[in-house]
A and B are shown apart, each in its own frame.
Chain A
């Protein structure tokens, strides 16, 4: 019998950084969720531009944005990736965490001397290493502004509480960036954090169209809600199976 399942191909940019951790988290998310019951998940390392073509979604992991952008600049990777993201007939979903967030922001503060190239697409100003150096890296409660995971009536979903959605999320921030200004009404705020010394909450997760960014590292925790949310976006927005 022919396999009735659609192939869902997700890539993780594997130039440098915590790409293995994202792959492992995607697998954990696929176990925790019924989202993928009609799909056959394939996860791929992306090191060459050709590897992008048949993917429906891509994660730009944490690592060093300087390193990643230099590598992409040196080949035609950056142009191919921009075109791949912009494709109208094949909408793709891209998620950047930490360094990946810097790459997807239209405006960057604190970039390296001489500037650094970026992919862009989200109309925000992002400050690199907003919270400081490694000694200032921290774990803290993040407030979610959107329900990430929807309970499936006949599945046991450990992540979702019965009535209201659980807006609390444990974030791991490592030399993390933050959004310092939102420059378009199209940008939706997904997550903020309130720090002891600041009155205003700091924006640490947003989305715009098919792109999303988070300043923290969901791939370093066991809570799979963000990866489930990403998979859900990919399924909803892409024309898979083509």
Chain B
């Protein structure tokens, strides 16, 4: 938790290809043994790259996800498709359920807290989840403020629709970003829109001179340094996953081609006819997204995908 006040942009520099000054190892390192630094938080997300993170509601589903090759699971009470259908207030999962899932698998376990609900986040940190998703899929608890994520030892992932949102979340301490998409619809259109928006805005930022970049930072309502860093790197300074509506191996490949580092899959798996087979195929698709022949094999005979609701039919 300490040492975070120096500004996020300095600590994420390892993602950059550019050669930076070689750190001299000195004696004052001897005293250092720190948990919860931004390096280990964003590093946790880096270890999930090229992987698929699956929504699960029970220990049994978590085992299916692990055996299918998921690099982490997300514990939640109801998958987004059910939240969408049933309505009502969606909250953090019962900690007992999350602990059962943690005991069932060796891969990291993430869990969702409501936006702005830092008390839920504190509970999740206390039971030892590996990452918290401050998620719009649950009912928002604070209409104005997000959680101050620098205050936590556990890393956070947050949703974003565009570059401004992504960089604001990072400046609040998010160690990982995902597209918001339209969770629970089985329609990938919104995830694609958000992935493309972030990409386009980064390319735009790269084309600006410094004076223009100051103005762009004001437009986006983000810290200038963070925007400058992003433009230099040509990508978000933290790991960026796709999420919201992915239902097939082809959906996975599409988002990976758009520059995503990996994918979240929610309702798409356990709302389909053959979750085991589909989970395996979608996990393989993250690794082999550049290989259409392999994707063709993986897409064969998966049974019915989740029924889905086109995003254009969803009331906002």
Contacts and interface: CB of A to CB of B under 8 A. Distances in A.
B136 interface: no
Interface in B45-70: 46-51, 63, 66-70
A190 to B, nearest CB: 16
B34 A18 contact: no
Interface string A191-215: 0000110000000000000000000
A159 B46 CA distance: 26
Given A14-B50, A112-B66, A195-B33, A220 B22 contact: no
B108 A175 contact: yes
Contact of B106 (A15, A110, A140, A170): A110
A19 interface: yes
Contacts of A174: 40, 43-44, 47
Contact of A140 (B13, B20, B34, B104): B34
Given A139-B40, A172-B39, A15 B66 contact: no
A106 interface: no
A95 interface: no
Nearest to B70: A67
Given A159-B22, A175-B44, A220-B46, A139 B39 contact: yes
Interface stretch (A1-9, A78-86, A179-187, A221-229): A221-229
B25 A223 contact: yes
B4 to A, nearest CB: 13
Chain B residues touching A, range? 35 or more
Given A71-B284, A98-B47, A129 B106 contact: yes
B23 interface: yes
B126 to A, nearest CB: 9
A170 B23 contact: yes
Contacts of B288: 47
B211 interface: no
B283 interface: yes
B25 A196 contact: no
Contact of B50 (A63, A128, A138, A158): A63
A89 interface: no
B105 interface: yes
A28 B15 CA distance: 12
B32 A64 contact: no
A123 B96 CA distance: 39
Contacts of B63: 113
A220 B154 contact: no
Contacts of B291: 47
A188 interface: no
Nearest to A98: B47
B141 interface: no
Which of A15, A17, A64, A158 has the largest number of chain B CB atoms within 10 A?
A: A64
A76 interface: no
Given A67-B107, A139-B40, A141-B32, A133 B14 contact: no
Contacts of A138: 33-35, 37, 40
A224 B49 contact: no
Interface string A38-64: 000000000100000000000000111
A230 interface: no
A47 to B, nearest CB: 6
A14 B262 CA distance: 13
B89 interface: no
A125 interface: no
A72 B58 CA distance: 27
Contact of B46 (A21, A31, A135): A21
Given A47-B287, A133-B130, A135-B128, A70 B67 contact: yes
B153 interface: yes
A139 B49 contact: no
B44 A137 contact: yes
A137 B21 CA distance: 25
B128 A168 contact: no
B153 A135 contact: yes
A49 to B, nearest CB: 13
Contacts of B68: 70
Interface in A130-167: 133-141, 158-159, 166
Nearest to A158: B22
Contacts of A170: 23, 25, 29, 32
A240 interface: no
Kindly list the 7 A-B residue pairs having the minimum CB-CB distance in the complex, ordered from nearest.
A134-B130, A140-B33, A137-B40, A112-B106, A64-B71, A168-B25, A16-B50
13 contacts: A14-B287, A16-B51, A16-B286, A64-B47, A64-B51, A66-B69, A111-B106, A134-B40, A135-B125, A168-B25, A168-B27, A195-B33, A220-B43
Interface of B: 13-17, 19-23, 25-27, 29-30, 32-37, 39-41, 43-44, 46-51, 63, 66-72, 104-108, 125, 128-131, 153-155, 283-284, 286-288, 291
